[in-house]
Amino acid sequence: MTEARASLLRVRALSVSYPGPQGPLRALSDVDLDLDEHECLGVIGESGCGKTQLLLALLGLCGSAARVTGSIRYRGEELLGAAPARLAALRGRRIAMVFQEPQSALNPYLRIGEQLAEGARHHLKLTRRAALGRAAELLELVQISAPAARLRLYPHELSGGMRQRVTIAMALMCEPEILLLDEPTTALDVTIQAQVLEVLRSIRARTGVATLFVSHDFGALATLASRLTVMYAGRAVEQGAIGELYAAPLHPYTSGLLRSLPRLDLPVPLRLAAIPGQPPDLAQLPAGCAFAPRCPLVHPACAERPALRMRQGDHQVACHCELPAARIGEAWS
Amino acid sequence: MLRFLLRRALSAVPTLLVIATLAFVLLHLTPGGPFDSERVLVPQIQHSIEARFHLDEPLWRQYLRYLGDLAHGDLGPSFQYRNTSVNELIAQGLPVDVAIGGTAMLIALLLGGSIGLLAATRVGGWRDRLPMGLAMLGISVPLFVTAPLLILVFAIRLQWLPAGDWVSGSWRHLLLPSVALALPYTAYIARIVRSAAIEALASPFIRAARAKGLPSLTIVLRHALRPTLMPLVSFLGPALAGVLTGSIVIEQVFGLPGIGRFFVTGALNRDYTLVTGITVLYGALIIAMNVLVDLCYGWLDPRVRARQ
Amino acid sequence: MSPAERNDGPWRRSWRRLYARRGARWALALLGLIMALALLVPALSPYDYAAPSWTHIFLRPSLRGGEWFGTDGLGRDLLVRVMWGCRISLLIGIAASLVSVLIGVAWGTAAGYIGGRTDGLLMRTVDVLYSVPFIPLVIVLEVLFGRNFLLVFIAIGAVSWLDIARIVRGQTLAIRSQNYIEAALALGVRTPAVIWRHVVPNLLGLVIVYATLTIPSVILFEALLSFLGLGVQAPLASLGSLVADGANEMQANPYLLLIPAAFLAAIILCLNYLGDALRDALDPRHD
């Protein structure tokens, strides 16, 4: 049972909303998550489903306009509503984040050595020289050659893949316990993606840092994550071991999402299948299941919002229909 | 860096040449000579004066002579102020302009910069709207309106400060003209700094810096300051041009013995060399400021430095 | 965004955004009022702007006497003179801005669209002209050639197109590199047609904003020249020359300075505010 485990990070009923002209924009609604020591939890969903909002909420960086409710516990300590100084002490020190676009996450005006070192100098009180030494070590860890020389470069002098590796090294500077990855490979070429994923895998093998890996790329998630949470319209709709979820998705959305992966083993007309329709407007979420308007299995009960329920073993689903995975798959064809 | 400076210095030469030629040609094409307004001179005296200033030579000789002197930094003798060179007149007037213009720019940068930063951290609140409304007013009321108004209030009605005149080294005589000249630039700078700071603070790398848990002051000073300064630096070029023109007005209103007044009287009296000299000086100052702006860009932004 | 708004064109949306700002409505109304007054008052008033009246010197502003804004040192009605000043200032402002916008847009589009050496040459020219101290030069010109309305015009136009040319060039470069331009060219659409159909409409918003912001700067420039005694010829008055006259009399009769200064400031303020509001309203990032 998830409740019984002593989680490193325990998120309950986390909601984030922003004021909008047509009522509040619900970016995240009642999300539950548990992250254990050394674990890698994947979060998958379309763009705009609230993945990035989830990570920002964990760091308390949603901005002053956001309304954040629920509970975020780090080793039992409630972070929501904690003193700003306490949050700042955790950020970058215990919980570090890698952003989606390395070219905009790095300050173009500063040398990368400076940017790598500043977190460690602040949190660990390292001297400038010691921090730069540690930075060089970490650049080596993320497989950047001639690290000492690279420290003197500016972000624009690095390639995209190199920049992303620098931001990964930056996140690891203070040996955090939790690493938040926000689509770290999306902005990169496919071959570079593979290199960056390999770097992340080897870092996890060496440091055992617990990781929350957010992506819309199932393949990338599968290389790192052991468990997966599927998000739709700001809600978690399915959770479970990644293999089980892949083999037998129990939510119609997950089923459709997996079907939309290109399948080169099938004849051309069947290789790609799309989910018809659009994700809902976050300002006007339906009262019931948010996926109902696009769902092939929609029925009257869907007017009521389904809760995330345990189905088999550790596998949780938020759906009223109790059909087995195979039947749900058939409904899409 | 050195090569960049050298290249910029070389590329300034044709610009200066254009300015000098323009001023020279315009002045000499117009009807009426510099000594027409005086009482009728004996032809011999007229000739001797013209010979002294080389006005009897063909125009192209005069032009070449002028350029040759210019290359040595010699702007020639003034026609109007006998036995005085343009260089001496400029040396006389320049300290006044430097004092007023420098003080004004200092006031504008300090006041405008802090107003803009303060407003940027309080977007939408009254501490943003009130100063920005005033700034809008500030850029809309011209110098030649604010300057007389300041005199009316502080010199004539309240009698706190002198209404004009110039006493070298006296801050009381410096204050009113400097403040009048500073007002529009304070307003401009406040607006520029505000929008630049808002944009800089919203950039993704600021969020990334926050995610590192750095203190706010470090984030602002180390990460947000440079991108905020960039638009301000590019305003410095136009600002200097504006201050030069502004000082003409300010000298007129306050009756100060600066270059601007020499310029206006020189134009009215057809003092060819004085007017072309001052025009070339203005051009050189603007060019120098533009080089300074480019250097600042490179100093602030490594991407620009790489291109230089 | 409400469903009703969704199908509107971008222009109507921009107009709606502009109109939604209370300040913009006030600025438009005030500007309209000043324009209407400038047109009507001189036509309807019994007083003349030029004819001196030695029996009416320095009358204080009063509603009862009929001289609402008072009279100046030559006994001329200030209301009529200020309204004439508004006419002249606005006329010069709008006409000279049109000229400078035309030059600036042509120059900037040519540089940005053709690119290469042409671009280098055109923009180098702009750079050189930027370093020319124009206002002093214009002052010299004015003194030498006599005060000439056309000259003021040309001088102002020559200064104010530089900014527009730079901005338009930048925008054209950005548009030029868009895929839809490549697509249109690849489909065999001819260059003038591409410029007319794709580049110009995308520049329009920007040009409107800068034209609005050029008018006040031109008015200020003309006022500066008139203030130095180099603008319009007496007895005709522009707001700048009225301010200059007023500044000479301000010790005894401050209203002679304050009233024309207030009108000048109001016009500039409204135009600046409208320009700012237009820039915000035309910015597609607000959608």
pLDDT tens, A261-301? 777 777 776 666 778 778 888 888 888 888 888 888 888 88
A2: pLDDT confidence band, cut at 50, 70 and 90?
very low
Residues B211, A99: C-beta atoms closer than 8 Å: yes
Do B156 and B303 belong to one domain? no
In-domain check, residue B28: yes
Domains, chain A, in order of start with CATH, read: 38-60+82-231 (3.40.50.300), 251-330 (no CATH)
A21 contacts in chain C (CB < 8 Å) = 1
A91 contacts in chain B (CB < 8 Å) = 210-213
* Interface check B106 vs C, CB under 8 A: no
Do B112 and B16 belong to one domain? no
Instruction: Give the minimum alpha-carbon distance from C1 to chain A in angstroms, rounded to a whole number.
Output: 7
In-domain check, residue B98: yes
Q: What is the DSSP string of C173-225?
A: HHHHTSHHHHHHHHTT--HHHHIIIIIHHHHHHHHHHHHHHHHHHHHHHHHHH
* Interface check C2 vs A, CB under 8 A: yes
Tokens 């996890």 -> residue: A204
Question: How far apart, in whole angstroms, are the C-alpha atoms of residue A17 and residue A57?
Answer: 11
Tokens 């580049």 -> residue: C199
Residues A216, A48: contact at Cβ < 8 Å?
Answer: no
Do B144 and B225 belong to one domain? yes
A170: pLDDT confidence band, cut at 50, 70 and 90?
very high
**pLDDT at site C4:** 43
A283 contacts in chain C (CB < 8 Å) = none
Instruction: Give the minimum alpha-carbon distance from A278 to chain B in angstroms, rounded to a whole number.
Output: 28
DSSP character at residue A274: P
Residue A178 confidence (pLDDT) above 90: yes
Residues A58, A71: contact at Cβ < 8 Å?
Answer: no
C65: pLDDT confidence band, cut at 50, 70 and 90?
low
* Interface check A149 vs B, CB under 8 A: no
Domain of B96, CATH number, reads 1.10.3720.10
Top residue of A98, A109, A123, A167 to mutate, by most chain B CBs within 10 Å, is: A109
Do B66 and B161 belong to one domain? no
SS3 B280: helix
C287: pLDDT confidence band, cut at 50, 70 and 90?
very low
Residues C136, B248: C-beta atoms closer than 8 Å: yes
Residues A108, B209: C-beta atoms closer than 8 Å: no
Helix (H) or strand (E) holding A15: strand A9-18
Query: Would you state the structure tokens that stand for residue C48, as one six-digit string?
Result: 């003349």
pLDDT tens figures, C124-153 = 888 777 777 777 777 777 666 666 667 667
* Interface check C39 vs B, CB under 8 A: no
Top residue of B123, B206, B212, B222 to mutate, by most chain A CBs within 10 Å, is: B212
Residues in chain B predicted with pLDDT less than 50, given as ranges, are: none
SS3 B53: coil
Residues C108, C167: contact at Cβ < 8 Å?
Answer: yes
Q: Which residue of C has its CA nearest to B32?
A: C144
Question: How far apart, in whole angstroms, are the C-alpha atoms of residue B57 and residue B63?
Answer: 10
In-domain check, residue B19: yes
Binding-face residues of A in 53-112 toward B, CB within 8 A: 59, 61, 87-93, 96-97, 99, 101, 104-111
| Closest CB to B212 among A87, A91, A110 | A91
Domain count, chain B: 2
In-domain check, residue B265: no
SS3 A248: coil
Top residue of C1, C6, C286, C287 to mutate, by most chain A CBs within 10 Å, is: C1
**pLDDT at site A132:** 93
**pLDDT at site A3:** 46
Do B43 and B127 belong to one domain? no
Q: Which residue of A has its CA nearest to C2?
A: A22
Pairing of strands A227-232, A235-241: antiparallel
Instruction: Give the minimum alpha-carbon distance from A282 to chain C in angstroms, rounded to a whole number.
Output: 13
Question: How far apart, in whole angstroms, are the C-alpha atoms of residue A247 and residue A255?
Answer: 10
In-domain check, residue B223: yes
* Interface check B90 vs C, CB under 8 A: no
Do B101 and B233 belong to one domain? yes
Tokens 């919980």 -> residue: A95
Distance of CA A114 to the CA centre of its chain: 27
**pLDDT at site C96:** 84
Question: How far apart, in whole angstroms, are the C-alpha atoms of residue C153 and residue C76?
Answer: 27
A1: pLDDT confidence band, cut at 50, 70 and 90?
very low
SS3 B30: coil
Give CA torsion, residues A130, A136, A139, A145, to 10 deg.
180
Kindly report the backbone phi and psi dihedral angles of residue B266, in degrees, each rounded to the nearest multiple of 5, phi listed first.
Answer: -60, -45
Residues with Cβ within 8 Å of residue B187, at least 6 apart in sequence: B112, B134, B135, B136, B137, B138, B139
Domain hosting B68: range is: 1-74+270-308
pLDDT tens figures, C33-57 = 888 888 887 776 666 766 666 666 6
Residues A55, A214: contact at Cβ < 8 Å?
Answer: yes
Mean pLDDT of A85-105: 89
Query: How many helices (DSSP H) and strands (DSSP E) are in chain C?
Result: 12, 0
C1: pLDDT confidence band, cut at 50, 70 and 90?
very low
Kindly report the backbone phi and psi dihedral angles of residue A298, in degrees, each rounded to the nearest multiple of 5, phi listed first.
Answer: -60, 135
Percent of chain A residues past pLDDT 70, beyond the cut = 97
CA-CA-CA-CA torsion sign (B259, B264, B265, B269): positive
Mean pLDDT, chain C, whole residue set:
77
Question: How far apart, in whole angstroms, are the C-alpha atoms of residue A23 and residue C5?
Answer: 17
Question: How far apart, in whole angstroms, are the C-alpha atoms of residue C276 and residue B132?
Answer: 12
SS3 A49: coil
Do B30 and B120 belong to one domain? no
Residues A201, A14: contact at Cβ < 8 Å?
Answer: no
**Least confidently predicted of A127-131, B39-43, B110-114, C179-183:** B39-43
* Size of the A and B interface in Cβ pairs below 8 Å: 77
Residues with Cβ within 8 Å of residue B239, at least 6 apart in sequence: B105, B108, B185, B188
In-domain check, residue B247: yes
CA-CA-CA-CA torsion sign (B280, B283, B287, B288): positive
Helix (H) or strand (E) holding B45: helix B43-52
Residues with Cβ within 8 Å of residue C138, at least 6 apart in sequence: C152, C155, C156, C159, C225, C230
Tokens 């102020």 -> residue: B81
Judging by beta carbons within 10 Å of its beta carbon (0-12, 13-18, 19+), is residue A23 exposed, middle or buried?
Answer: exposed
Query: Would you state the structure tokens that stand for residue A252, as one six-digit string?
Result: 């119609």
Helices within A260-324 (DSSP H only):
none
Helix (H) or strand (E) holding B64: helix B59-71
Residues C265, B141: C-beta atoms closer than 8 Å: yes
Residues C140, B268: C-beta atoms closer than 8 Å: no
C285: pLDDT confidence band, cut at 50, 70 and 90?
low
Query: Would you state the structure tokens that stand for residue B50, as one six-digit string?
Result: 């013209």
Q: What is the Cβ-side half-sphere exposure of residue A203, based on CA atoms within 13 angstroms?
A: 30
Residue A22 confidence (pLDDT) above 80: no
C258: pLDDT confidence band, cut at 50, 70 and 90?
confident
Give CA torsion, residues A289, A291, A297, A301, to 10 deg.
10
Query: Would you state the structure tokens that stand for residue B45, as one six-digit string?
Result: 């005296």
pLDDT higher for C75 or A97? A97
**pLDDT at site B54:** 72
Do B107 and B63 belong to one domain? no
B268 contacts in chain C (CB < 8 Å) = 143
Tell whether pTM > 0.80. no
Question: How far apart, in whole angstroms, are the C-alpha atoms of residue C263 and residue C239?
Answer: 8
Residues A92, B204: C-beta atoms closer than 8 Å: no
* Interface check C4 vs A, CB under 8 A: no
**pLDDT at site A41:** 93
* Interface check C184 vs B, CB under 8 A: no
Distance of CA B36 to the CA centre of its chain: 33
CA distances for A318 relative to A30, A31, A309, C199, C250, angstroms: 12, 11, 6, 50, 80
In-domain check, residue B245: yes
User: Looking at the DSSP assignment, which residues form a beta bridge with residue A41?
Assistant: A212, A227
User: Looking at the DSSP assignment, which residues form a beta bridge with residue A33?
Assistant: A11
* Interface check C55 vs A, CB under 8 A: no
**pLDDT at site A181:** 92
**pLDDT at site C57:** 66
Residues A92, B212: contact at Cβ < 8 Å?
Answer: yes
Residues A177, A94: contact at Cβ < 8 Å?
Answer: yes
Do B168 and B222 belong to one domain? yes
- Residue A296 preceded by cis peptide, ω within 30: no
Using CB atoms, which chains have 3+ pairs under 8 A with C? A, B
Q: Which residue of A has its CA nearest to B302?
A: A109
Question: How far apart, in whole angstroms, are the C-alpha atoms of residue A237 and residue A220?
Answer: 20
Helix (H) or strand (E) holding A115: helix A112-123
Do B157 and B184 belong to one domain? yes
Do B140 and B234 belong to one domain? yes
Do B140 and B198 belong to one domain? yes
Question: How far apart, in whole angstroms, are the C-alpha atoms of residue C23 and residue C20?
Answer: 9
Question: How far apart, in whole angstroms, are the C-alpha atoms of residue A255 and residue A332?
Answer: 8
For residue B122, the one-letter residue type is R
For residue B46, the one-letter residue type is Q
**pLDDT at site C5:** 46
Residue A60 confidence (pLDDT) above 80: yes
pLDDT tens figures, A188-234 = 888 888 888 998 999 899 888 999 999 988 888 989 999 999 999 88
**pLDDT at site C3:** 42
In-domain check, residue B81: no
